């Protein structure tokens, strides 16, 4: 009997200990659940935002470090001009700043918008001008410089001399009159709006039709820069 009573006491004591453990464990679990629903979710959200921020920062840092822009592409420019102001345009990577060089000196810069850039006016000097460009992203990332393009500023009118006809010269029978002379070898010559052929030495010759009576023959030379030199001759024609 005594042994049985002792066993019962030990059993009750063990049950009490287990019940207490279950109670404390349940209470602790309840506290953890309440903490997670009140504070933990907010902390998890903040931790997620912080992790995302670090990833984006690292991504941006890598982009700024390794994304070297391609060289810009300049639109074609004239080989010669008679205007000291030149407009430069072209294409480049989005988000780049374009630096324009004129005769190896920085002449202007502008941002790329929708992949395009424009600089309204560069001040050219007389003679040859060499133009190139470079794209820059950030402080350290810059493209290679483009190949230099050459443009000549020429403001002088071309040479023009007339061999025939002479002023007030008279013609008869054939109403096609020969007009000849000399100009610059790269110039174009128009006689009464007809384009004459100019050879490699600048000589030109063309036959133009005339009418009965007095005729005015207009001769105009236009060089590659667009400069114009004009001459005129009055002639008389009769059948």
Residue range 57-70, pLDDT digits in tens: 555 555 445 488 99
Minimal CA–CA distance to 167: which of 219, 127, 128, 99? 219
pLDDT band at residue 99 under the 50/70/90 scheme = very high
Count Cβ atoms within 10 A of the Cβ of residue 179 and give its class: 0-12 exposed, 13-18 middle, 19 or more buried: buried
Distance CA(99)–CA(142), nearest Å, equals 10
SS3 of 132-181: the string is EEEEEECCCEECCCCCCEEEEECCCCCCEEEEECCCCEEEECCCEEEEEE
Question: Mind listing the pLDDT tens digit for each residue in 219-232?
Answer: 999 999 999 999 99
Residue 31 has a pLDDT of 72
Residue 169 has pLDDT above 80, yes or no: yes
Kindly report the backbone phi and psi dihedral angles of residue 76, in degrees, each rounded to the nearest multiple of 5, phi listed first.
-60, 140
Distance CA(34)–CA(204), nearest Å, equals 101
The residue behind tokens 């709006």 is: 193
Question: Mind listing the pLDDT tens digit for each residue in 193-218?
Answer: 999 999 999 999 999 999 999 999 99
Cβ neighbour number for residue 77 with a 10 Å cutoff: 17
Distance CA(73)–CA(133), nearest Å, equals 8
The residue behind tokens 């820059």 is: 136
What percentage of the chain exceeds 90 in pLDDT? 67
Residue 208 contacts residue 194 (beta carbons within 8 Å): yes
Q: What is the pTM of this model?
A: 0.65
Whole-number mean pLDDT of the chain? Answer: 86
Q: DSSP secondary-structure letter at 113?
A: B
What percentage of the chain exceeds 70 in pLDDT? 74
Of 140-144, 170-174, 184-188, which range is least confident? Answer: 140-144
Residue 19 has a pLDDT of 72
């Amino acid at each position: 009997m005594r042994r049985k009573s002792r066993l019962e006491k030990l059993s009750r004591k063990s049950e009490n200990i287990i019940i207490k453990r279950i109670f404390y464990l349940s209470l602790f679990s309840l506290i953890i659940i309440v903490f997670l629903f009140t504070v933990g979710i907010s902390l998890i959200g903040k931790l997620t935002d912080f992790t995302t921020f670090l990833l984006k920062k690292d991504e941006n840092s890598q982009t700024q470090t390794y994304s070297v822009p391609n060289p810009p592409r300049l639109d074609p420019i004239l080989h010669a001009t008679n205007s000291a102001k030149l407009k430069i345009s072209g294409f480049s990577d989005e988000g780049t700043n374009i630096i324009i060089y004129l005769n190896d000196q920085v002449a202007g810069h502008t941002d790329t918008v929708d992949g395009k850039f424009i600089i309204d006016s560069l001040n050219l000097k007389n003679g040859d001008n060499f133009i190139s460009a470079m794209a820059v992203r950030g402080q350290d990332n810059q493209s290679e410089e483009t190949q230099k393009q050459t443009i000549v500023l020429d403001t002088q009118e071309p040479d023009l001399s007339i061999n025939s006809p002479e002023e007030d010269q008279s013609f008869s029978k054939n109403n096609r009159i020969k007009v000849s002379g000399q100009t610059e070898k790269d110039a174009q010559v128009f006689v009464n709006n007809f384009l004459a052929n100019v050879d490699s030495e600048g000589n030109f010759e063309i036959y133009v039709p005339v009418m009965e009576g007095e005729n005015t023959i207009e001769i105009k030379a236009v060089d590659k820069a667009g400069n114009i030199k004009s001459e005129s001759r009055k002639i008389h024609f009769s059948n």
